[in-house]
Structures are given as C-alpha cells and as structure tokens.
Amino acid sequence: MTAALLLGFGLLLMAIGMPVAFAIGIAGFSYFLLPETFLPTSIAVQRIVSSTQSFPLLAVPLFIFIGHLMNASGITPRLVHLSTLLAGWMSGGLAQASIVLSTLMGGVSGSAVADAAMQSRCWEKA
C-alpha cells in the first residue's frame, strides 16, 4: 500500500510538470513523513547519509576523472586512431572500432565507467 501511494504521488508530481529528479526526491522523502513509517529525525538523516558512504560510489567519479585525464594527455586520440586502423575497414567499421577501443581501454584503465567517459569525448575529436 505504501509503495503504491508513493508511486502515485511521484507520478502526480511528474504529471503536473515537476522535473523527474525533484519528483522522485520529494516522493522518496515523503516516505519518512508517513504515519506508519514515521522515524525520528536523527534516524532519517542517518539512513540518507549512510547510502552515500560506499566505496564503489567513491570510485565512479575517480574513474571518470581518469577518463578525462587520458583525454587531456592525448592518449585517447591515439587509441581511437589505432582502433580505426585495426577495424575501421570492416563492415560496420565504427561499431567494430568502438569494440576494439573498449578492449584497449579495458586494459589501460580497468573500468567500464572510465571507458564510457573517455569514448564519449574522444569520438567527437577523431
């Protein structure tokens, strides 16, 4: 019942034109205000903050930073050029070159998030 109520409240907020991020945030925060799930303020704050204290969540911005650092240093345009030479002549060359580039970047950075951040910037320069 509570989930349906919160989902309906979130959809109502989106229907009246509120941005999706704010609608989800307000609907999620309203969970703490329901009478059957009412929590003391200190516990509510602890639950909100504890979800941000995660090492994987800390690693994501650092991997994105590595992708941008590789773009700034010039490694990525050279890797794009190499992958285009290796697979660009095949049928579906851009897709094949992207796969080769992802393979090369997986060996360099070890992170799919850094690969995505790097590839989104370097294909526009190539």
Sequential DSSP letters for 4-29: HHHHHHHHHHHHTT--HHHHHHHHHH
Which of 50, 74, 90 marks a domain boundary? 50
DSSP H/E element including 36: none
85 and 116 fall within a common domain: yes
66 and 118 fall within a common domain: yes
Q: Give me the pLDDT at residue 125, please.
A: 53
DSSP letter for 74, please: T
Written as six digits, the tokens of 71 are 């773009």
Q: Which residue has the higher pLDDT, 126 or 97?
A: 97
State the residue range of the domain holding 95. 55-125
8 and 42 fall within a common domain: yes
Give the integer Cα–Cα distance in Å for 93 and 61.
31
63 and 100 fall within a common domain: yes
Q: Give me the pLDDT at residue 19, please.
A: 92
69 and 101 fall within a common domain: yes
| Length of the chain measured in residues | 126
The helix/strand/coil state of 90 is coil
pLDDT in tens, 19-78: 998 998 888 888 777 777 666 777 777 877 777 777 777 777 877 787 778 778 888 788
Q: Give me the pLDDT at residue 122, please.
A: 57
60 and 85 fall within a common domain: yes
59 and 46 fall within a common domain: no
- Count the domains in the chain: 2
23 and 75 fall within a common domain: no
Q: Is the pLDDT of residue 16 over 90?
A: yes
Q: Give me the pLDDT at residue 112, please.
A: 67
Written as six digits, the tokens of 116 are 């995505």
pLDDT in tens, 66-125: 777 877 888 878 888 888 888 888 888 888 888 888 777 777 767 666 666 666 655 555
Q: Give me the pLDDT at residue 15, please.
A: 92
73 and 119 fall within a common domain: yes
62 and 109 fall within a common domain: yes
pTM exceeds 0.75 for this model? no
18 and 33 fall within a common domain: yes
91 and 69 fall within a common domain: yes
